[in-house]
């Protein structure tokens, strides 16, 4: 697949990437962009097999390389098999994008032990164990990207637990970056603002009416906006970037 830009540092030919939770939305956009940049991509999904197959089909139709692999990142026993499947299919792993996550509105009165567990099991524990498994096989020059959120810094009282998980993700980005830096493995966070996806399609107009006036660039984000930032983060252009989280939000502060 040809490089979409003339910048050779964005050429990912020969690289292999896992994008967790990439059957739809932001994850699908990231998978397709990395494939367009030349990477072979593992499209991970937990339940959406049909959607994951469609992402793979779009990538291969455009001349890229991709395979769909099922694994629920919230289940610890399914993480290592995802890495093993990647090595079987493509022989190596260079890039991990920790995109899989869940989001649920709540209030102090409606929070339950189950909702806390579900959020942390995927958004924090799953991300951590996925990073652990990937780091064991990543070579020097490898990159891990954690998809965070603007609510990590400007949290909402309508989503206490989700915001808490994303705050944890930002801390882990910094600590993982510190530990893996001596191996020349970078860890970069990307914090989206409000992005239109299949998951919020039913309420996108209401969300847009609320968030767009607070967004200096005056529009809703698209998965391609986040994918472009990930493309930068894993490229040679970001060779001096690690242990930090980049806001990709059009200037929005939640």
Annotated active-site residue in 45, 103, 162, 207: 162
Report the number of secondary-structure helices (H) and strands (E) in the chain.
Answer: 8, 7
CB 98 within 8 A of CB 125: no
Q: Helix H segments across 37-159?
A: 49-61, 79-90, 113-120, 127-135
Q: Helix H segments across 62-159?
A: 79-90, 113-120, 127-135
Residue 162 appears among annotated catalytic residues? yes
- Cα 142 to Cα 162: distance, rounded to the nearest angstrom: 28
- Cα 160 to Cα 155: distance, rounded to the nearest angstrom: 8
Active site residues: 162
């Amino acid at each position: 697949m040809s490089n979409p830009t003339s910048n050779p540092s964005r050429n990912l030919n020969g690289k292999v990437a896992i994008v967790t939770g990439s059957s739809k939305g932001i994850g699908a956009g990231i998978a397709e962009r990395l494939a367009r940049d030349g990477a072979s991509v593992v499209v991970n999904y937990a339940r959406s097999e049909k959607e994951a197959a469609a992402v793979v089909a779009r990538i291969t139709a455009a001349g890229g390389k991709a395979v769909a692999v099922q694994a629920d990142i919230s289940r610890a026993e399914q993480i290592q098999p995802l890495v093993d499947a990647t090595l079987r299919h493509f022989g190596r792993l260079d890039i991990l994008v920790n995109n899989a996550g869940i989001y649920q509105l709540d209030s102090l009165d409606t929070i339950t032990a189950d909702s806390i567990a579900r959020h942390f099991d995927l958004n924090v524990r799953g991300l951590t164990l996925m990073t652990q498994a990937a780091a064991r096989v990543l070579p020097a020059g490898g990159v891990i990207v954690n998809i965070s959120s603007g609510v990590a810094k400007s949290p909402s009282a309508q989503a206490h637990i989700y915001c808490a998980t994303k705050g944890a993700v930002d801390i882990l980005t910094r600590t993982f970056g510190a530990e893996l830096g001596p191996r020349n493995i970078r860890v970069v966070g990307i914090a989206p603002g409000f992005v239109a996806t299949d998951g919020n399609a039913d309420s996108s107009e209401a969300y847009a009416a609320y968030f767009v006036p607070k967004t200096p660039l005056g529009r809703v984000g698209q998965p391609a906006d986040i994918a472009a930032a990930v493309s930068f983060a894993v490229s040679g252009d970001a060779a001096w970037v690690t242990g930090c989280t980049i806001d990709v939000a059009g200037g929005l502060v939640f």
